[in-house]
Amino acid sequence: MSDAKLFTPARAGAIELKNRVVMAPLTRNRARAEDDAPFELHAEYYGQRADAGLIITEASQISPQGKGYAWTPGIYSDAQIEGWKKVTDAVHDKGGRIVIQLWHVGRISHPVLQPEGQDPVAPSAIAANSKSFDGTQFVDTPTPRALSVEEIPGIVADYRKAAENARKAGFDGIEVHAANGYLIDQFLRDGSNKREDHYGGSVENRARFLKEVMDAVVDVWGAGRVGVRLSPFSSANDIVDSSPQETFSHVVNLLNGYDLAYLHLVEGQTGGPRDIPEGGDLAALYALFDGTTMGNNGYDRQTAIDAVHNEAIDLVAFGRPFISNPDLVDRLAKDAEWNELDPDTLYGGGTKGYTDYPTLGQSQVAAE
């Protein structure tokens, strides 16, 4: 076993972690079609991965309006709370810690997924060159409807209710999804936010919606159990900003006012190159933050060990490696081989490619 700092206990605000390896949020599109609720299959999946220092669930919509893809789970109904309670019980029974990622996709949706076939909503009526999955095929995202000022408090209230529901479901905390071109990120970026009211224009105004969401969810949970995910230099879902370093420096300073559990940054392009554009400085953003930092994007064993050892970040989030390796922490510690990922089973389906990947011990027994 490795004695590297990556495998030592840590704290993320009020959440005690047995190691610094985090399971990143991973959309898998396996919620029940009739009510977008997780069920026993999800409990098995997350329970298998409870050796992670922290599990961040797949993104979960805060309301029917927040949905952008077929078969993604929500956290707004009694059935969804009940389903997530099975998951948290399974993780806690194995000594794990788990938070739920709260999600509103904004313009990255389609009327077929929206209540009563309505248009998706966004800060401004600007279409994204992106796709949504309607349950049959990938479809272009249409021009959204710009939210009125009067509607925004209702969405903030949906975040609050989702945070309350997460408590009922037994989570250890929540993560606010403010990354990857979804609704909060759409407000933050001047390419998607052309509003002329107090939610648009200056970076202070563009960050107002995030601030209101944070005020609401921290009021429910206390700051030490709330994390935030940002993707400062990612163009995921056709998101752009004229000065991301300036924008996200302001955002990180804003978040410092909450004494959060952690700040979770996507380093470079979401699920892509780690390159940072000219004028961008990821290390400077980490240095601005007063609390626990979490890095995400393309880490392997050695880069993760080095990043934590050198105190570049405190925690490392692994995504796809956790899909095919339920015992990823053990494999990392032993420098063991990883299972090969089956890309054909990433989204939708049942147990295949979800709960049937073997652990290291199972693989060794099978080889004997």
CATH assignment at residue 226 = 3.20.20.70
- Enumerate residues 6+ apart whose C-beta is below 8 A from 234: 179, 180, 181, 266, 268, 269, 270
- The pLDDT, as a whole number, for residue 367 is 59
Each residue's pLDDT expressed in tens, for the chain with a length of 368 residues: 578 999 999 999 999 999 999 999 999 999 999 999 999 999 999 999 999 999 999 999 999 999 999 999 999 999 999 999 999 999 999 999 999 999 999 999 999 999 999 999 999 999 999 999 999 999 999 999 999 999 999 999 999 999 999 999 999 999 999 999 999 999 999 999 999 999 999 999 999 999 999 999 999 999 899 999 999 999 999 999 999 999 999 999 999 999 999 999 999 999 999 999 999 999 999 999 999 999 999 999 999 999 999 999 999 999 999 999 999 999 999 999 999 999 999 999 999 999 999 999 887 666 55
How much helix, strand and coil, in percent to the nearest 5, is found in the chain?
A: 35, 15, 45
Active-site residue, 357 included: no
Q: How many CA atoms lie within 13 A of 330 on its CB side?
A: 13
Residue 2 has a pLDDT of: 77
The total number of structural domains that make up the chain: 1
Which tokens sit at 368?
Answer: 């004997």
171: domain range? 5-367
Verdict on whether the full-model pTM lies above 0.95: yes
- Structure tokens of 24? 């990143």
* Tokens of residue 200, six digits: 């648009």
Active-site pick, 182, 258, 286, 354: 182
State residue 183's pLDDT score: 99
Instruction: Name the residue type at position 123.
Output: P
* Residue 199, CA distances (Å) to 210, 237, 245, 246, 282 in order: 10, 21, 20, 17, 26
